[in-house]
Amino acid sequence: MKGTKLVYICSECEYESPKWMGKCPHCGAWNTFVEDVVEKESASAATNKRTSLLGNELSEAAPFSELEAPDYIRTATGLSELDRVLGGGLVCGSVVLLSGEPGIGKSTLLLQICDTLGVNRKVLYVSGEESRGQLKLRAERLRIVGKNLYIITETNVERILEAADKLKPDVIIADSVQTMYSDKVNSAPGSVTQVKESAMAFIGKAKNYGISVILVGHVNKEGGIAGPKVLEHMVDAVLCFEGDRRQAYRIIRANKNRYGSTNEIGVFEMTDIGLCEVTNPSEMLLADRPSDSSGNCAVCTMEGTRPMVAEIQALVTPTAFPAPRRTSNGIDYNRTCLILAVLEKRLGLKFSANDVYLNVIGGLQLDEPAIDLAVALAMISSITDKVIPDSLIAIGELGLSGECRGISNLEQRVKEAARLGFTEVLIPYRNAEKLSLDASTKRNVKITPIKNIFDLLRIIKR
């Protein structure tokens, strides 16, 4: 006999408990147990449900030498910034999970790429949150033609897959997976079991028939993807939409990608007619840079294969508290404290008697060591109130002894700085010996090798 039972499931590791607990005994996460209704079923029914996702026939073992590498065909989405993050385009038979805060532009982005995908592909857009009239209204605002685009407003997974069997689409977009439910599970839509069951149904359809699937996922109040953590392991790519919805710029970053790099980012600008690509984010980040102001320094960071020039601002003021404040926005807090300790120990600058505020313009998160030199130069400039020339950019990593260590991809960084009009580049001394630049770059850019942080003082005094 079938029946139901009330259990509590950890959203991180899916550990089941008959009662609520503050800390999961399996993974150690806090406040992750959610209430769910689980349907009891016989062993034969459970076996049939598991094998149904793998096809009609059971898989047999095959020798590795006889396996053939599949020719995964990529389809361009029409947005080069999104194709860059995906690794070149949408792979046939792949499942992509797109997450982001409410109002960030997930549905707008997906409706825009439907216009390009519909030229050569048949697209099925599944909406569980909007009606057909609302979708039509938004499509007119975005100037979407909708060729080969089919809309279905349904939340039942079985009915959606039945419609897909009749239509035979090349791409399925589900907005969102938290609104989907399956008749096989007796629990509310959005629960851990329903989200996992719905995702497995779409994954089975994608792998068996070579259909590209894009799932939209909600985020929780901590900013993580809502639902079970295992959902991120089941899909092929996890894309995160970042940015403040009250501002115009958005960033798409890949936290996981089986068919491409996870270091690439895509930059977009929200306009009245939808999301527009920002092909040159460096100029956007330096658009309102102040001149003749202390505490500002430019740095070139690598986001995958793309060099990006960002602006680091530092503000050092006398403290009014027994313990000085340390605020870091866009830079790792521990890395900031490390650089402060090196400057105070080696140069004797009294940062311990001052509040220090660091900020990266544009909301970027800079996490590579190559920004150390620019951070140190900005803080020295602020505490000494000396202005750094607007034409100067600093790239390098600092050690605990105050030495400047070498970095990678320096040629690309210097060329990007020269393209944006910088005339002097501070680089590590070890990289200067091996740096090879073309004649035009050498003629327009002055390369200044830096051995240690004492050279930064000479730059400031100059």
Per-residue pLDDT of the chain (462 residues; tens, 9 = 90+): 455 678 888 877 878 888 899 998 888 888 888 888 766 554 444 444 444 444 444 567 889 888 777 666 888 998 999 999 999 899 999 999 999 888 888 999 999 999 889 888 999 999 999 999 999 999 999 989 888 999 999 999 999 999 999 999 999 999 989 999 998 888 888 888 889 899 999 999 999 998 999 999 988 776 778 777 778 889 999 999 887 766 778 889 899 999 888 888 898 988 888 899 988 888 888 888 888 889 999 999 998 888 999 999 999 999 988 899 999 999 999 999 999 999 999 999 999 999 999 999 877 889 899 999 999 999 999 999 999 999 999 999 999 999 999 999 999 999 999 989 999 999 999 998 888 888 888 888 999 999 999 998 888 887
| Coil vs helix vs strand at 333 | helix
Interacting residues of 62 by C-beta distance below 8 A, sequence separation 6+ = none
pTM over 0.85: no
**Residues constituting the chain:** 462
Q: Which long-range contacts (CB under 8 A, 24 or more apart) does 254-261 make?
A: 254/85, 254/86, 256/232, 257/85, 257/86, 257/87, 258/94, 259/72, 259/86, 259/87, 259/91, 259/94, 260/85, 260/86, 260/87, 260/88, 261/87, 261/304, 261/305
According to the model, what pLDDT value does residue 164 have? 94
Find residue 274's DSSP bridge partners.
271
Using CB atoms within 10 Å of the CB of residue 68, give its burial: 0 to 12 exposed, 13 to 18 middle, 19+ buried.
exposed
According to the model, what pLDDT value does residue 57 have? 47
Amino acid sitting at position 18: P
According to the model, what pLDDT value does residue 2 have? 52
According to the model, what pLDDT value does residue 13 have? 80
* Distance between CA atoms of residues 259 and 297, nearest Å: 36
What would the two tokens of residue 261 be? Answer: 């790099």
According to the model, what pLDDT value does residue 40 have? 56
According to the model, what pLDDT value does residue 51 have? 40
* Distance between CA atoms of residues 440 and 438, nearest Å: 6
According to the model, what pLDDT value does residue 14 have? 78
According to the model, what pLDDT value does residue 72 have? 66
Interacting residues of 87 by C-beta distance below 8 A, sequence separation 6+ = 74, 257, 259, 260, 261, 264
CB atoms within 10 A of CB 65: 5
Contact predicate 32/12, CB 8 Å: yes
Q: For residue range 156-182, what is the model confidence (pLDDT) as tens digits?
A: 999 999 999 999 999 999 998 999 999
Q: For residue range 364-390, what is the model confidence (pLDDT) as tens digits?
A: 889 899 999 999 999 999 999 999 999
Cis omega (within 30 of 0) for bond into 176: yes
Residue with tokens 């939209």: 216
CB atoms within 10 A of CB 436: 8
Three-state secondary structure readout of 20-80: CCCECCCCCCECCEEEEEEEECCHHHHHHHHHHCCCCCCCCCCCHHHCCCCCCCEECCCCH
